[in-house]
Amino acid sequence: MSSPSLEALSAELAVLRPRMDAVSLAIHARPELKFAEFHAQQVLTRWLAEAGFTVTAPAGGLDTAFVAVHEGSRPGPYVAVLAEYDALPGVGHGCGHNLIAAGAAAAAIAVARALPAHPGTVAVIGTPGEEMGGAGKVRLAAAGVFDGVDAAVMFHPGDRWLTGRPGLAAAHLRVAFGGVSAHASVSPWKGRSALAAAQLFLAAVDAMRQFVPPTARLHGIVTEGGKAPNVVPARAVVDLYVRDRTAVSARDLVERVRRAAEGAALATGTEAEVSETGPLYAERRNNAVLAERFGDAVRALGVDIAPLDPDSPAGSSDIGNLSQRMPVIHPYVQIAEAGTPAHSEAMREAAATPLAHDRAQVAATGLAEVVAELLTEPWVLAAARAEFEAESEKGEVPV
């Protein structure tokens, strides 16, 4: 055991396990898309209130957000455990956020029970709308919900144990083309096809691929492409994500994508309008000090967790923006066979299994240990802060 509190926290988590499973499975069974997570908010806040946390819901101007706070016996650090609980269209909880949410609440409650006289504040912050560019954490931060928070921790389900991996910066674009409708056979020359513009635009994006950094990701879907084959489409819409290792590079790519849209419009006699459907997700800065504290805790519980892998393939999350404001960790917890893709039916099924809940219990114990150390061992927060400040000084300012 890496600290005297780990044993006590493990015991609390074992007691909390049945409720953790019930909350997780209730959320899993009723998948709710970004900013409509009312049921998840209710089951989580009810549990936290029963456990003695002071609940504020809604919070930060978001109907489905919440802040649940357990004040300690004296002043000290403010540590937040983050709960995500939104699902995906089509695949429900294919990202396993039911486990994040129930595990976050369990971790915080375990700390409050094992260390009832702890200094400082332990909070669960319910951050809705992580998927689909919802940027819930960015919106909550802008509303001041994270003011005064010294560190934020969460875990994420996946197909392997990792103390952390990079997250790309991501811009969420909508490119709308406006043309002129006409009969597609009687008088097509009177029309201008917005769909032709969208096709040309996507071809231009493909032509760019060799000339963007190897770390960039440009990917989109056609969300509108006309209404009927016999009508020249007057409107076509492409939703596209532009990602790269830094927000600075992503912004640069957004400008090139914008010019590709304008070029496609020029060629087809249409108009292009490029907008962002949500805030830019900044790149993730994993706090190595806290990631290793989590690693040590779960290793002491028998898990063979790999250290931070800077070269791991990556998605994006609004945790990136928070990681520019304070030390954060976002370790990965294996709940499915290696190779199981995220955002899939297979991951959704895995997220409801007893194995996934065994692993979530271990991960929640690890988070609880990190929170307990941040509250009670001053060197941990001091070291995390020193690393954060050193990184901030050398990093480019992203958004």
Binding site for Zn ion (CB under 5 A): 95
One-character DSSP codes across 263-315: HHHHHHT-EEEEEESSPPBPPP---HHHHHHHHHHHHHTT--PBP--TTS---
Distance CA 58, CA 308 (A): 34
Q: Are 391 and 327 in contact (CB under 8 A)?
A: no
Query: Judged by CB, which is closer to Zn ion: 95, or 356?
Result: 95
Query: Judged by CB, which is closer to Zn ion: 95, or 135?
Result: 95
Query: Judged by CB, which is closer to Zn ion: 95, or 176?
Result: 95
Tell the smallest beta-carbon distance from residue 131 to Zn ion (Å).
5
Which of 56, 82, 83, 51 has its CA nearest to residue 67?
56
Query: Judged by CB, which is closer to Zn ion: 68, or 95?
Result: 95
Query: Judged by CB, which is closer to Zn ion: 209, or 219?
Result: 219
Tell the smallest beta-carbon distance from residue 167 to Zn ion (Å).
11
Tell the smallest beta-carbon distance from residue 36 to Zn ion (Å).
16
Tell the smallest beta-carbon distance from residue 198 to Zn ion (Å).
26
Distance CA 89, CA 95 (A): 11
Distance CA 39, CA 278 (A): 24
Tell the smallest beta-carbon distance from residue 263 to Zn ion (Å).
33
Residue 12's SS3 state is helix
Residue showing the smallest CB distance to Zn ion in the complex: 95
Query: Judged by CB, which is closer to Zn ion: 261, or 350?
Result: 350
392 torsion bin: left (phi>0), alpha (psi -120 to 50), beta (else): alpha
Question: CA-based Rg of the chain, rounded to a whole angstrom?
Answer: 23
Query: Judged by CB, which is closer to Zn ion: 95, or 305?
Result: 95
One-character DSSP codes across 303-366: --PBP--TTS-----THHHHHTTS-EE--EEE-S-TTPPSSSHHHHHHTTSHHHHHHHHHHHHH
Tell the smallest beta-carbon distance from residue 317 to Zn ion (Å).
7
Tell the smallest beta-carbon distance from residue 156 to Zn ion (Å).
6
Tell the smallest beta-carbon distance from residue 379 to Zn ion (Å).
32
Query: Judged by CB, which is closer to Zn ion: 97, or 113?
Result: 97
Residue 239's SS3 state is strand
One-character DSSP codes across 87-120: -BTTTBSTT-HHHHHHHHHHHHHHHHHH-TT-EE
